[in-house]
Amino acid sequence: MTTLYLVLFIAALGLLWTRNMRLSIGLLALEGVLLSIMVWTSGYLSWTSALVALSTLAIKAGLIPAVLFKMVRATPTEVRQDQSLPLWAYGAAVVVTLGTVHIISLLGPSHLIQDKVAFFYSLSTVYLGMVMIVARRHLLSQIAALVSIENGLVLLGVSLAGSLPILIEFGILVDLVIAVTLLVWTGRRIHREFQTTDVVALQQLRG
């Protein structure tokens, strides 16, 4: 299981680093596969946990990547890559990862954390997603960051509580599908109206 946590963290690092939108979508699909495997291997497999695992696989590794890939194909080739990552983002990634270790040491005496390894990788994934939202300029990068943050939050909940109630897991999946659908629709409208996917350029619309 530790290997799965590590690969999820590496996928989050890849999302922050890569400029290629297709690779970003592939990394998101990988995160979905990993979360589905975690559900399958987390303990006794009941029909409800199997349903959650299959739903996670279908939505996070299938539906969402497919919708985002379709969005990429609808955009011109020249806007299918993000801008270069600013240098400060690398430093921020290191700081937030080391900060997670400090948080674990602070919360250790409270026995709040059920799985310290899962907590480290999940919270680091959430932080890296936040850095990505600030550092990246491509609209699709913003969407990918939000999905990655949600993936990290799911694992974070498991690391604290041991497991999440079935209704909460299904509710998160439904909310995620709705959010991504709205963001993709908004992204297409923005590109059609302003011929850009650069969120910095959209700041000119303020006021």
pLDDT tens digits for range 102-130? 898 888 788 888 888 999 999 999 999 99
pLDDT tens digits for range 42-59? 766 677 778 888 888 898
> C-alpha distances in angstroms, 107 versus 66, 77, 119?
39, 47, 11
Query: Side chain identity at 107, as an amino acid letter?
Result: L
> C-alpha distances in angstroms, 108 versus 2, 102, 111?
19, 10, 6
Please say whether the beta carbons of 131 and 179 come within 8 A.
no
Q: Residue range 181-197: average pLDDT?
A: 73
pTM exceeds cut of 0.95:
no
SS3 (DSSP) at 183: helix
E-strand stretches of the chain: none
pLDDT tens digits for range 130-165? 999 888 888 888 888 989 998 998 888 888 866 666
Domain ranges of the chain: 2-205
Q: What token pair was written down for 1?
A: 């299981």
